[in-house]
Amino acid sequence: ADVISSSVGYIIDYSYEDLDENTVAVTIVVDLAVKKGVAVFNSAGNEGLTYWEHIIAPADGDSVIAIGGVTPDGDFWAISSRGPTADGRTKPDLAAQGQDTYCVNPTSTDRYTTANGTSVACPLGAGAGAIVLSVMPTMSPLELRELLKSHASQSNNPDNFMGYGI
């Protein structure tokens, strides 16, 4: 695989201080996949309105492209998990529509529906990454990450809600 879109996320048995890219096992494994040449996109999480509030592992990885959620109007979606990481890095990296996202109805072969969550935002980001790689196939995952961040809507003013933007 050249691109992975993942919605896994772990916070149980961890503290916020563990979100430092070096503690949670799944984050270490995902960063290893990136070192082997796979661009890994991971959902930031839907913890924005919970006690946790922060991103989930492995979205804390320094090589992972963490995708947060926005509304259909492009505003930060309050349910989306926030950064920064425990060691102060901006997260999520990017954002895509996570609220009322038009998608295939999983119970039908010919119908569409809407869904919510960073688990539907993440594949949108990964799809954009795959398109870029289709025309620049020698680009490394870290080069892809930097290219996407540098061309996103908040590239000059990233924050811990939408990262570098849409």
- The per-residue pLDDT for range 127-151, each reduced to its tens digit, is 999 999 999 999 999 999 999 999 9
Q: What is the DSSP letter of 154?
A: T
d(CA 48, CA 161): 9
Look at residue 67 in the predicted model and tell me its pLDDT. Answer: 98
Average pLDDT, the chain: 96
- The per-residue pLDDT for range 66-97, each reduced to its tens digit, is 999 999 999 999 999 999 999 999 999 999 99
The Cα-based distances of 67 to 81, 112, 135 in angstroms read 9, 23, 22
- The per-residue pLDDT for range 54-69, each reduced to its tens digit, is 999 999 999 999 999 9
Look at residue 34 in the predicted model and tell me its pLDDT. Answer: 97
Q: What is the DSSP string of 43-76?
A: E--S-TTSSS-B--BTTT-SSSEEEEEE-TTSPB
